[in-house]
Chain A
Amino acid sequence: MAAPSTLTPSLRPRRDSVHGHEKASPVATVLLLLGALYCLLPVLWVVMASTKNGSELFSTFTFAPSTHLLTNITELSSYRDGLFWRWMANTALYAGAGAIASTFVSALSGYVLAKFAFPGKGAVFNILLMGVLVPGVILAIPQYFLMAQLGLTNTYWAVFLPQIISPYGIYLARIYAAAAVPTDVIEAARTDGSSEMGIFTRIAMPMMLPGLVTIFLFQFVAIWNNFMLPYIMLGDDKLFPITVGLNGLLNQGASAPALYTLVVTGALLSVLPLILMFLLLQRFWRVDLAAGAVKA
């Protein structure tokens, strides 16, 4: 604890050790617990509701569990030859591969902006920074026409390519590179004759790694959350991510309420992996949001 705290004194855990010495405040704790209840309620509801069959869903108290979870999952899996799992795989591809590509491009650009001096650097950074403020959704419709020109609408590329560029990711990467990669180390590697790309991939990227995990998580959530782009770009439901797929299923459910059980079960199955990922990577959210917010 002592060694890193000299570098970043602000990140040192300061009050956890003090906890327990101070008198507990019931009001504060109850308010926090109410907040937690509000946030957990819909998740608990979907867990319970996905154990019910169609008629129970509409007739019984939905917080009381039933026994049909496995039937529902089987039914969902067989819906149009496992289309649901195809949506899940598509989502993993768009968000996973997209976030990896985005993190790499952001890291490279941020590193260059932090560690090189070249004419036009300020202009490049300022223009990229303006991108942070451009409402991303505004771009979706012109991006569609652009993709149509290239003949790429209704393909994986149409959803994958536009989401690689992330001005906020570049901004964060620049901060991480400036803080985590010492200029001396780069100079030493240059003297040893390493190529610039080699210095970046073998020396700078490992040093920036914790920050890159945060950029990856941010971008993963952003792509997974982006509904409008795939909604506009894709017509073939085999290419849908889970969000567009479930939205379509709910739409059909308006005329065939039997589909509601599938929608509810699908909602549960689709949030589980992400919630698991959140709990496992909790540390990165805390620590690295700290790093970002301290310096940003």
Chain B
Amino acid sequence: MSAQPATTGSTGAGSAGNTVTGDPLRPGNPAKTVAAVPERRRSNRFRSRVLTPYLMLAPGILLFAVFMAAPIFYTLYLSFQRIEVSGLGLGSGARKQVFAGFDNYAAALSDPEFGASVGRVLTYGVILIPSMLGLALLFALLLDSRRSRATTFTRVSIFLPYAVPAVISSLLWGFLYLPSVSPFYYVTERLGFDMPQILSSGLIMFGIANIALWGGVGFNMIVIYTSLKAVPNDIYEAARLDGASEMQIALRIKIPIVMPSLIMTGLFSIVATLQVFAEPTTLRPLTNTLSTSWTPLMKVYRDAFTRDDIYSAAASSIVIAAATLLISFVFLRVVQKRAFGQED
């Protein structure tokens, strides 16, 4: 009865951009067909068309509403509140939650600590994302090349760190950075030269970026490699017949083909980068260069739980979320214009 056009879901090969910029799937327009059927069947149709799908969607919608939508709106609400203390602040009525306007936002944005943590995360992202995606692309192209060997072993090995949670990879690398335990320092010391202290304030940024790179390069490689695998072989055969070298095929055919995957992995990497929390939190016991507000989220955590200032933590959260969305959209705009600009 509710025949659905079979095209649903086939959003076209690798069009990752669509998933964000707009729904490629158009809802059917049941209104017309419903009007044509008699009254009693219409109520039956209403049941099956509207009620059943909504009943089946209920668990998903309910969980989404309670654990995603409600927290977002609650944070928004809190970010516009503050505590007003009257008198000496004693007694139950002395502390009152009142509307604060944009005070919390003004405070968060003008807080030098917050600015510094945002600056660190941006630097971190600039180091991490291009090197991670560049290496992922390189490895994917190498895996796909007909001239590489040992591809199964290397593919599995490079993907393996994805199985290691950020806390544990930070812990492993943390020990590898610790001069008294690390084999690197042991070897370089015996060889008679000084290896720079990665846990020092100058290099810790690279140390943390390396941990995220280690954990993320394999996953991104697999995503890109998979979209390379999806290309029919004929295209390459045709290019070879025309005398294209493997390098030319990689640059002129393969990279443009994986562009949508690169955009998708780039977007996910940006979102993940701005939320960095587990790596620096785990490394803190091993070094004294990481403050409790080293990244924006660490500062939010500290404000909310150590300082009990949930209102300014809420405002900072909203600022981070808004900045994430803004950067994501700008990124998609710029990249899609570059990548697909000539298509029209």
Contacts and interface: CB of A to CB of B under 8 A. Distances in A.
Interface of A: 9-11, 14-15, 18-19, 21-25, 28-29, 31-33, 35-36, 38-43, 45-46, 49, 57-58, 61-63, 105-106, 108-109, 111-122, 124-129, 131-139, 141-146, 161-162, 164-165, 167, 170-171, 174-175, 177-179, 183, 187, 190, 196-197, 200, 221, 224-225, 227-228, 231-232, 242-244, 246-247, 250-251, 253-254, 260, 263-264, 267, 270-271, 274-275, 277-279, 282, 285-286, 289-290, 293-296
B174 to A, nearest CB: 8
Interface stretch (B87-95, B101-109, B144-152, B191-199): B144-152
B2 A146 contact: no
Q: What 7 pairs across the A-B complex have the smallest Cβ distances?
A: A178-B9, A117-B28, A142-B71, A36-B157, A109-B60, A25-B147, A10-B230
Q: Is the interface of B mostly helix, strand, loop or mixed?
A: helix
Contacts of B304: 141, 144
Interface in B293-343: 297, 300-301, 304-305, 310, 313-314, 317, 320-321, 324-325, 328
A174 B9 contact: yes
Contacts of B49: 116-118
A140 to B, nearest CB: 9
23 contacts: A29-B148, A29-B150, A42-B161, A49-B175, A63-B183, A112-B57, A113-B57, A125-B25, A129-B23, A137-B275, A142-B74, A146-B70, A178-B8, A179-B10, A183-B3, A232-B305, A246-B167, A263-B171, A264-B175, A267-B171, A267-B172, A271-B164, A295-B9
Contacts of A57: 181
Nearest to A243: B167
A135 B233 contact: no
Contacts of B63: 105, 161, 164-165
A224 to B, nearest CB: 6
B10, B71, B75, B78 — which one has the most chain A CB atoms within 10 A of its CB?
B71
A247 B218 contact: no
A247 B64 contact: no
Contacts of A278: 159-160, 162-163
Interface of B: 1-4, 6, 8-11, 13-14, 16, 19-20, 23, 25-28, 30-31, 48-50, 52-54, 56-57, 59-61, 63-64, 66-68, 70-72, 74-75, 78, 135, 138-139, 142-151, 153-154, 156-169, 171-176, 180-183, 186-187, 214, 217-218, 222-223, 226-227, 229-233, 261, 264, 271, 274-275, 277-278, 281-282, 284-286, 297, 300-301, 304-305, 310, 313-314, 317, 320-321, 324-325, 328
Given A25-B145, A196-B56, A289 B74 contact: no
Contacts of A285: 159, 222
A25 B245 CA distance: 14
B68 A293 contact: no
A25 B78 CA distance: 60
Contacts of A136: 275
A131 B139 CA distance: 31
Contacts of A23: 147
A22 B305 CA distance: 60
